[in-house]
Structure formats: C-alpha cells, structure tokens
Amino acid sequence: MAGSRFSYVKNYEIADPLLPGTFILARVDGRAFHRFSTEHEFTKPNDERALNLMNCAARGVMTEFNDIILAFGESDEFRHRSFFASTSLYNRRMSKILTALTSIFTSMYMFHWAEHFPQKALKYPPSFDGRIILYPSEQEVRDYFAWRQVDTHINNLYNTAFWALVQQGAHSTADAHAVLRGTLSGQKHELLFSRFGINYNALPARLRKGTLLVRENVTPAPSLDTASSKKKIKRTTMIVAYHCDVVGEEFWKGHSELLNP
Amino acid sequence: MAGSRFSYVKNYEIADPLLPGTFILARVDGRAFHRFSTEHEFTKPNDERALNLMNCAARGVMTEFNDIILAFGESDEFRHRSFFASTSLYNRRMSKILTALTSIFTSMYMFHWAEHFPQKALKYPPSFDGRIILYPSEQEVRDYFAWRQVDTHINNLYNTAFWALVQQGAHSTADAHAVLRGTLSGQKHELLFSRFGINYNALPARLRKGTLLVRENVTPAPSLDTASSKKKIKRTTMIVAYHCDVVGEEFWKGHSELLNP
Amino acid sequence: MAGSRFSYVKNYEIADPLLPGTFILARVDGRAFHRFSTEHEFTKPNDERALNLMNCAARGVMTEFNDIILAFGESDEFRHRSFFASTSLYNRRMSKILTALTSIFTSMYMFHWAEHFPQKALKYPPSFDGRIILYPSEQEVRDYFAWRQVDTHINNLYNTAFWALVQQGAHSTADAHAVLRGTLSGQKHELLFSRFGINYNALPARLRKGTLLVRENVTPAPSLDTASSKKKIKRTTMIVAYHCDVVGEEFWKGHSELLNP
Amino acid sequence: MAGSRFSYVKNYEIADPLLPGTFILARVDGRAFHRFSTEHEFTKPNDERALNLMNCAARGVMTEFNDIILAFGESDEFRHRSFFASTSLYNRRMSKILTALTSIFTSMYMFHWAEHFPQKALKYPPSFDGRIILYPSEQEVRDYFAWRQVDTHINNLYNTAFWALVQQGAHSTADAHAVLRGTLSGQKHELLFSRFGINYNALPARLRKGTLLVRENVTPAPSLDTASSKKKIKRTTMIVAYHCDVVGEEFWKGHSELLNP
C-alpha cells in the first residue's frame, strides 16, 4: 500500500468488531424478488426449483464458512435465509463477514442457476442484501429460528390459500386477498379442504416448515491400519437437511452440541 | 411478520445509520482473486478482459444506484474498485447500502462474465467483500482517489517489470522479486526500457492510471415541439470513462459539480 | 493489570473512536433540574447566580481541555450548555472524552457552588448527562449554534412572559400557560410591554442571546530581552465571553479562525 | 424545541442503544488521582477515609439507579469501581446511562467529601471517566469480578510491601521498586513478615479483597393488619457490603438471583 502523503485517508476506516461471546445471525434477503420471480416465471405458491436453488446457495455458503452451523430457508423462493454461526472468522469484523457471506450467497445462486432452471436463462442479475444480528444467549437463538418457522407457516398457509383461489378458484388477486382478509388459520385450512380438496397438513413439510441445514459431525470409521491410528483423526462434518419443527424441544435436544460449541 | 411470542428477537437488530452530511466511499475487493485469476488463466501483468469485466460490473452498480457519481477501478484485475456517493439511499442504513452494492457487483460480474470470457466457463463462483468509509469533506475524497491512483501506478509499474522479467527474461518468480527488491521507480523504468524495450510511459493510460467512471449530466436537446417544451425536462445522466490523472487539479476543476451536489 | 485466566474479559471492551476530520459537539444537560432549581429556590425566570455558575463550570472545562474553542450556555439555569471542539484528545475515544467532560462539568459546578450561592448549602448533589454529536462541516456547526440561540430566544421570551403573568399578574401557572398558548412572538412582546411595562428587547443580551465562551489567541507583548526573543514564543489563549448574535455572519467573520483550525 | 430552519442539525445525533439481553458493566476511574491523592495527602498504601468515600459514592449511585445490583470497589483510593446492571434504563441508551452514572458518581464523591475528610478542604475538583462494557453471559460477568479481585490482591500486596519498604524500611521509592522487581507473591509475603512483622493475610479483608456492594431483597415483616395484607406488598431492597471472595463458587451460589434476574 502506498505510503504517499494521501495515505492518511486510510485512518478513516473505523474498526467494526462484533461483540465477543455473542452468537452471530446473518440474514440474506432477495432484493426486489417479487419482480425477479415474475420475470422468471416462478410457479406459485412455491417454485420447487427456486427453493432448491436457495438451499443450494445456502449450502455453498456453509461449505465456504465452516463456522456456520445452521441455516434456515423459508419456504418462499425469495425471502430471507438465515444463517447462524459462532465464530472468530475475520476477527469478527462485521463488514467483512457480512459482505463476504452476502457475496458468496449471490454468486452461488447465479452459479447454480442453470442446474435448477435448465430451460430458462437469467434475464438480469438477481441481488441480495444482508444484515447481521447478535444474540447473547442460546434461548434467543432458538427463539429466532422459532420465530422464522412460525412466520414461514403463516405465510405459506396464506399463499397456498391465495393461489388456490386464484389458480383453481378463478378469483382475481384482489378478490383472493379480500376473501382471506381477517380469516383465522383454521378457516384457511377449512377453505382449502372444502373448496379445493387440499389437506394442508399433508403438503410436504419443506413447504410448511422450511428447510434447516445443519452441520453435523461425522464419526470416522475406525482404521484397520495400526500406523495411521496414531495419527490425529481429522474431525469432519457434513451438512444435513431437515424439515422438522424447531419451535419445540425435540430438535434442539437432539442437537445439543449446536449451541454449546 | 408474525406477531408471535418469539418476535421480540427482532428488537436485537440495532439501527446502523451513517453519519449525515458525510461522503460515502464503498470499496469492493475480490476475495482470493490470486487463486481465481490463476485458475481462470488471466494474462499477466494485466488481463484486458478481466479489467473490462470489472469496469462493466462497476457500471452495472452505478446504473442501479443513481447516487453513485464516481467509481475508480485500479488497473488490477482483482483489486478493489472504489465507489463514491453522496446519498440518502435506504435512509443511509449502512448494512443495507453496503450489502446491496457488494451483491450487485458480484452478480454483475458473473452475469457479464461470458461476454468478456466467451471461451472460458467459470470454474467456481468468484466473490467479493466490501467496506464503507465516511469522509467529512471534499478534500479527503479527492485525497482518497489520489491515494488509490498513486497506489495503482506503483503496483502496475512493479507488476509490469516483474512479469517482463518472468515472461521475457526467463527469471523465476522468486528471482524476479529479488531483482526488484528495493529498486526505485526510475530504476524500474530503466530496467523495462534497457532490457525489454518497454517505454512504460507509453503503455495505455488505463493501465497506468486506472479507470474512472463519472456520472455526467446530459443536456437534453431543445425540443421543436412547443407542447412538450412546457413539460418538466427530465434530468438525465450518462456514465463516462476516464483514464486521467486525479492527483492534480485539472480533473476536479472540470468536474466541480461532483463534490458539490 | 493481572494476566490471570480471567483477563480475557478485557477483550469485550470495544474501541469507540470518533470519525476523524469531524467537529465534535458535546452537550451537557442538568438531570432533573426542574426539581433541583425549585429545591434550591432559583429565582424565575432567570437566576443570575445559577447562570453565572453554569458559565463558571463551562469555563472550568475549557481550562482543562484546551481543544475546546467554543461553548454556548443558554439563558436557562439548567438547560444544556454546548461545547464544541476539534481535537485529537484521547485519540478521539468517544466514551473517554464524553465522560471526562461531563464529570469535570459536574465537579466544577459543585466546586464553585458556594461562590455563587454563599447563603445556600447544596441539599443534594446535582448531576448532568452528556452526549457527543459529530458535524462534518463548518456550516453545520454554525447552524447548530444558531439553532440553540434561536431556541434560547424562544424559551426566554416565553419564560419572561410566563413569570410576569405569575409574579406580577397574579395568574396561576396553569392560567399563565393558557394565556400564552398559541401566541406569536410579537404578541408576547406586546403583552410584556402593555401589561407589565417590560421592553423585552431592553433586557440584558445574556438573557436573550445566551452566553458564548470563545477561546481567543493572545498576542504576547514583544520582549525587550534580545536573548529570549529567539525562544519559541508560546502561543497563549484566553477565554472571552460574548452575548452576541450567532445567527448572522458578523460573529463568524470576526472569528474565522475558529472553524478553520 | 425550535422548529427553525436550523433544527436539521438535530438529525446528526445518532441513536446508541446497547445490545438487548446483555449485562452492562460500567467502570468509573479517577482521572489523574495520583496527583489528587498526593495533593490531598492520602495515607499510603491505603487511606481508609478515601476508600470509604469511594464506597459512599458508589452507594449513592446504586440508590439513584435501582437496576444496579452489584458494585465492586478495589482497595485503592482512586482505581476504578465497577458497577454491574441488567437494565432497561433510558431504553439502554449508552451515552445517557454512562454519563448520568459518571456524573452522579462525581457529585456524590464531592458531596460526601467533607464527611470523610472533615479537616481537609478540596483544593480542586476531582473528576472521573467512565466506560460501559457488555457481557453476554453470567460466566463472563463472574469472570470480570474475579479478574478485578485478583488484580486488587496483586496491587494491594505490592503496595503494602512497597510502602513498608519506604515508610518503615527507609528505602527510596526507586529503591523499593527495585527490591520488589520480579518477586513472586510468596516472596512479598515473606518480606513483609520477616522484615516488618506484617502478616499480610491478617490485614483487613476489605484491603485484600476489595468491597462488594450487593443489592439484596428485604422480606417485609408480615402485617397483623388484615386489611393491608391484601395490598400488594412492595418489594424493597437494601445495599449490603461484603469483603468476600468472588473468584470461587460460594458467593455466587449464595446470590444466585443476582445474575438471573
């Protein structure tokens, strides 16, 4: 870096470390994906290809950053995916972590586009924005994921009913919104079943509960080679997808190591 | 957004507004582009295609964000490009501005890859990181760009001499570094000329001085249609590339509106 | 500092530097001074002793911190005094500057209490809170002081009319507020003059315009001692009080060195 | 507040909320107390009056802010006192909490000076600076207090030996430092005992372990008045001083409610 008389401007870059000891939650949201999904003709209420692509991008980010141990994708083809990590990555510099993660998510999404949409070229580049939020304790992290899953459920139930009214019921979109306004959860279930024969609870869990990507430890098979048994066994991990409930205790009990690294 | 008992976690997202009245400088750097440029066989010391692609991505970002009025790309196919803006974009929320900009840069880079590297598929997705720095006054902004241009010059002179030694002089890379260690600028000029017949100052300005993208106002042609002359004339801008000196006065005098918006 | 296994907790103290190149404005406000002024029987609408004590405390802070070049005290015995400084004090660490300044203000106020209220012992300790605000340019700093002076005028006019109604007009406080509700500036002038014979503009400027403390350079008298004339002349300053207008140009033209240090 | 054309400057005041869910630790340090303690002739190594005054000021702060539940004063008449609180005070605005606390500490110190130093007028006003540090979990808070207590012990042992050498051993201060340089804890104990007959462990615990002020709940006596027994019993607290060990488990087990509010 040049030691010229101009280099004083470097001092205006102020350090932005994240508070030590806190859990880091990063969310990445599609920018203007309403338009993006329309222009690229995503199917409604859920486009399986788009959901898979989001999960694929999230997996790519987790592969790049080993410290991310959990990612949650809502069953929505453009709403935010949430990552969680406990990390000393980049000395916890906020901008560095956040922009690298958002950029990798973006490039993974584009890189894998053609696999998931083989018939459809990108008309223009999609983009995302991101945000880091800190949580001091395990309880808040669990509640964060519970919050997103409850929200996923509410949105997906609404969208399922909405698009049934539009696509099968021949309602206008304005009309469909009017029909659903103020309805309770049970009434939407009933409407789906009675008018369209849809048993909401029988829909795939990945749509109702979102997708959780979990980094899990892999126990290496015991080696028969006595020489190598003295070597340090390298701890390896794999990323496993779940579509299970995270509001209750069960998932967390089965993954108690996640929040106690 | 769900009003569940979990939604309290939303309050942990702390506002991050940028100080009003300051100029915003955003830099975007390629992550691990040493490897990326090797794997994708960029020519050395400068790969014209890669430089053009960087400028193309920067232009894409400027098209998306009208408040960016200046961008500087070093003559380096992966070093940072610097943007400058005076803006009320997103209420000056730091993370929002920074991540959107970094993500758009990333996606523009990938979207336009094939145009610039038609024979070469991307082996893996490139990524970038970013940072925002605030400058209170015009002087500091000018000095920032001067700093980057001086640095561009120093790096490009070094790289030009280094790769001449390696490619034309058949030195090993270690050897080439050893030859150049401690040499002054004049000695590198001399070495390039005497040993390789290269007149450094005759190299294209875009390599020696980098590329400046400037948003300039376009004066609309007067309309002959009297009816439309009463309409509000929409101010339009275009993005113009320069490879000129920004250390001295001339560029800034000719663009005095840039820092006094 | 102990290098025990507990000393890791020190790392949670995150640096808080103020952006370089910006002007630092610190305000200090009395906490719960409505009660404090009542319990210590300050005269209304202005207690000269209390105003002098505030100015005295401000002067004490300026004496301690040479980098403070301007201080503004509203003509209100407990509202905030505003300080202004351009400084590299404490490496511009925010908490350090702000707390030292607030603490010194507090202790100066108490230390000099007896001089200004010789007949009245402190019933309980007064306290203050503080805040630092950054301004990028001279214009904003001038506008800040203009803002406070306009506010001082508005408050003092209201208070003067209010207490005239209560003290001389025998109105209840609720009544006095009701009389003044919605009145324009001219109407308050008129009320003061017609009912109480008070020409507001003839009141002391320090009440209508507040008090400005300005650090001014002192030109040392030329020395007759030829030996010492070769010594470096130490630049000295003195703190001068003004009760002049800071909304217009005049004050700033006469003190152009203040904002261009 | 005046709605003048200058009031835009108010927008430069950027919110500074502390991360929710974290424990707030505030430390207050005497500024330049080496000089202050010399000018006011504090006895060495510990001035009981000065220690009591510090504790008195800390108690005053705790009385003002009910959310402070713990304060630690090192056995040093000017080193920092540390406060701890879990609070929603002032909406967790950092500057507000920190400056109010530092100011109250300052004014309490001055207000109660004469009680503790009846023969000695303040020569000039003392001042303090402060800092807030956030801790995400109970463990870090416990480790913080342990850290300070270990440090208190180390400093006090050194100071006790140092001043014994100076006051009783007639060493110069430079000499005394030289004697102690590099000595281990056990060697200082031995030196104190063999040369000066001082059994360090028999010194008052408040000097060796510092002073802990703890807010404890007071169980109100049952009322005989049946009418009032239906009223809501107001929870009251009192502030209790301890000079006990906080490195081990015992104190924290006996006060488990402190960190689980």
Distance, in angstroms, between C136 CA and closest chain B CA?
5
Distance, in angstroms, between C88 CA and closest chain D CA?
17
Report which of D112, D43, D45, D128 is spatially closest to residue D80, judged by C-alpha positions: D128
Residue C54 confidence (pLDDT): 93
The answer to whether C137 contacts B21, with C-beta atoms less than 8 Å apart, is yes
**Count of residues for chain A?**
261
Question: For residue range B103-130, what is the model confidence (pLDDT) as tens digits?
Answer: 999 999 999 999 999 999 999 999 999 9
Which residues of chain C are within 8 Å of residue B135 when distances are taken between CB atoms? 21
Per the CB < 8 A criterion, the answer to whether A220 and A233 are in contact is: yes
Pairing of strands C81-85, C68-73: antiparallel
SS3 C93: strand
CB-neighbour burial class of residue C28 (10 A; exposed 0-12, middle 13-18, buried 19+): buried
The answer to whether A6 contacts B130, with C-beta atoms less than 8 Å apart, is no
- Considering Cα of B142, then B147, then B151, then B154, what sign does the dihedral take? positive
Which residues of chain D are within 8 Å of residue A140 when distances are taken between CB atoms? 21
Most C CBs within 10 Å, among B92, B94, B134, to test the C interface: B134
Per the CB < 8 A criterion, the answer to whether C180 and C161 are in contact is: yes
Is position C31 annotated in a ligand binding site? yes
* pLDDT score of A226 more than 80: no
Mean pLDDT across chain A: 90
Order across the sheet with A211-218: list the strands.
A128-135, A23-30, A81-85, A68-73, A211-218, A236-242
Which residues of chain A are within 8 Å of residue D140 when distances are taken between CB atoms? 21
Question: For residue range B143-185, what is the model confidence (pLDDT) as tens digits?
Answer: 999 999 999 999 999 999 999 999 999 999 999 999 999 999 9
Is position C34 annotated in a ligand binding site? yes
Who among A60, A108, A127 is closest to B100 (CB)? A127
Which tops the pLDDT comparison, A4 or B76? A4
Per the CB < 8 A criterion, the answer to whether D232 and D170 are in contact is: no
Chains touching C by CB (3 or more pairs below 8 Å): A, B, D
Which residues of chain B are within 8 Å of residue C140 when distances are taken between CB atoms? 21
Q: Which domains does chain D have, with CATH numbers?
A: 15-149+204-218+230-254 (3.30.70.3000)
Least confident of A93-102, A214-223, C160-169, D75-84: D75-84
Is position C30 annotated in a ligand binding site? yes
The answer to whether D19 contacts B19, with C-beta atoms less than 8 Å apart, is no
Residue A1 confidence (pLDDT): 44
Most B CBs within 10 Å, among A93, A96, A99, A137, to test the B interface: A99
The answer to whether C12 contacts D98, with C-beta atoms less than 8 Å apart, is no
Pairing of strands D236-242, A128-135: unpaired
* The two structure tokens encoding residue B210: 């980098």
Give the ipTM. Answer: 0.92
Query: Which residues does A35 contact at the CB level (< 8 Å), separation at least 6?
Result: none
* pLDDT score of A52 more than 80: yes
Who among D14, D15, D21 is closest to B12 (CB)? D21
Per the CB < 8 A criterion, the answer to whether A137 and D137 are in contact is: yes
CA distance C222 to C219: 9
Q: What is the DSSP letter of D253?
A: H
SS3 B240: strand
Most B CBs within 10 Å, among C137, C144, C259, to test the B interface: C137
In D, minimum Cα distance to A140 occurs at D21
In A, minimum Cα distance to C13 occurs at A19
The answer to whether A125 contacts B144, with C-beta atoms less than 8 Å apart, is no
The DSSP line for A26-91 is: EEEEETTHHHHHHHTT--SS--HHHHHHHHHHHHHHHHH-TTEEEEEE-SSSSSPEEEEE---GGG
Who among B14, B17, B21 is closest to D19 (CB)? B14
- Considering Cα of D187, then D188, then D191, then D197, what sign does the dihedral take? negative
Query: Which residues does B170 contact at the CB level (< 8 Å), separation at least 6?
Result: none
Chains touching A by CB (3 or more pairs below 8 Å): B, C, D
pLDDT in tens, chain C (261 residues): 446 899 999 999 999 999 999 999 999 999 999 999 999 999 999 999 999 999 999 999 999 998 899 999 987 756 666 666 667 899 999 999 999 999 999 999 999 999 999 999 999 999 999 999 999 999 999 999 999 999 999 999 999 999 999 999 999 999 999 999 999 999 999 999 999 999 999 999 999 999 999 999 887 766 666 555 555 556 789 999 999 999 999 999 999 888 876
Report which of A168, A152, A158, A124 is spatially closest to residue A35, judged by C-alpha positions: A124
The radius of gyration of chain C's CA atoms, rounded to the nearest angstrom, is: 22
Report which of D109, D105, D144 is spatially closest to residue D23, judged by C-alpha positions: D144
Which residues of chain D are within 8 Å of residue A137 when distances are taken between CB atoms? 21, 136-137
The contact set of D with B (CB < 8 A) is 11-12, 14-15, 17, 19-21
Which residues of chain A are within 8 Å of residue D14 when distances are taken between CB atoms? none
The answer to whether A15 contacts C19, with C-beta atoms less than 8 Å apart, is no
In D, minimum Cα distance to B17 occurs at D14
Give the Cα-Cα-Cα angle B183, B185, B186 (nearest 5 degrees).
Answer: 100
pLDDT in tens, chain D (261 residues): 446 899 999 999 999 999 999 999 999 999 999 999 999 999 999 999 999 999 999 999 999 998 899 999 987 766 666 666 667 899 999 999 999 999 999 999 999 999 999 999 999 999 999 999 999 999 999 999 999 999 999 999 999 999 999 999 999 999 999 999 999 999 999 999 999 999 999 999 999 999 999 999 887 766 666 555 555 556 689 999 999 999 999 999 999 888 876
Coarse DSSP helix, strand, coil percentages of chain D, rounded to the nearest 5 percent = 45, 15, 35
Other residues' Cβ atoms within 10 Å of the Cβ of residue B227: 7
CA distance B205 to C87: 41
In C, minimum Cα distance to B135 occurs at C21
Distance, in angstroms, between A3 CA and closest chain C CA?
19
Q: What are phi and psi of C107, to 5 degrees?
A: -70, -30
The answer to whether D103 contacts C134, with C-beta atoms less than 8 Å apart, is no
* The two structure tokens encoding residue D164: 């014994």
Residue B87 confidence (pLDDT): 79
Please give the C-alpha separations between residue D150 and each of C1, C19, D71, D137, D157, in angstroms, as whole numbers. 9, 36, 16, 20, 11
Question: For residue range A148-179, what is the model confidence (pLDDT) as tens digits?
Answer: 999 999 999 999 999 999 999 999 999 999 99
SS3 A225: coil
In C, minimum Cα distance to A18 occurs at C14
Which residues of chain C are within 8 Å of residue D100 when distances are taken between CB atoms? 31, 127-129
Residue B233 is which amino acid? I
Query: Which residues does D75 contact at the CB level (< 8 Å), separation at least 6?
Result: D46, D51, D152, D155, D156, D206, D207, D208, D209, D210, D211
The radius of gyration of chain B's CA atoms, rounded to the nearest angstrom, is: 22
Which tops the pLDDT comparison, A235 or A96? A96
Pairing of strands D68-73, D128-135: unpaired
Which residues of chain A are within 8 Å of residue B125 when distances are taken between CB atoms? 60, 104, 107-108, 110-111
Binding site residues of B for Mg(2+), as ranges?
A: 29-30, 76
Is position C32 annotated in a ligand binding site? yes
Which residues of chain C are within 8 Å of residue A7 when distances are taken between CB atoms? none
Q: What is the DSSP letter of C21?
A: T
Residue D81 is which amino acid? R
For residue C26, what are the β-bridge partners?
Answer: C83, C132
Per the CB < 8 A criterion, the answer to whether D100 and D25 are in contact is: no
Which residues of chain A are within 8 Å of residue D135 when distances are taken between CB atoms? 21
C-alpha B198: how far from chain center: 27
pLDDT band, residue B84 (cuts 50/70/90)? low
E-state strands within A76-180: 81-85, 128-135
Who among D9, D95, D128 is closest to C144 (CB)? D9
Distance, in angstroms, between D259 CA and closest chain B CA?
20
Which residues of chain D are within 8 Å of residue B14 when distances are taken between CB atoms? 17, 19
| DSSP-H helix ranges across B183-261 | 185-196, 205-209, 250-254
Per the CB < 8 A criterion, the answer to whether B72 and B217 are in contact is: no
For residue A23, what are the β-bridge partners?
Answer: A135
For residue B212, what are the β-bridge partners?
Answer: B72, B242
Angle, to 10 degrees, between the axis of helix A138-163 and the axis of helix A173-180?
120
Other residues' Cβ atoms within 10 Å of the Cβ of residue B206: 19
Distance, in angstroms, between C227 CA and closest chain D CA?
35
Query: Which residues does C221 contact at the CB level (< 8 Å), separation at least 6?
Result: none
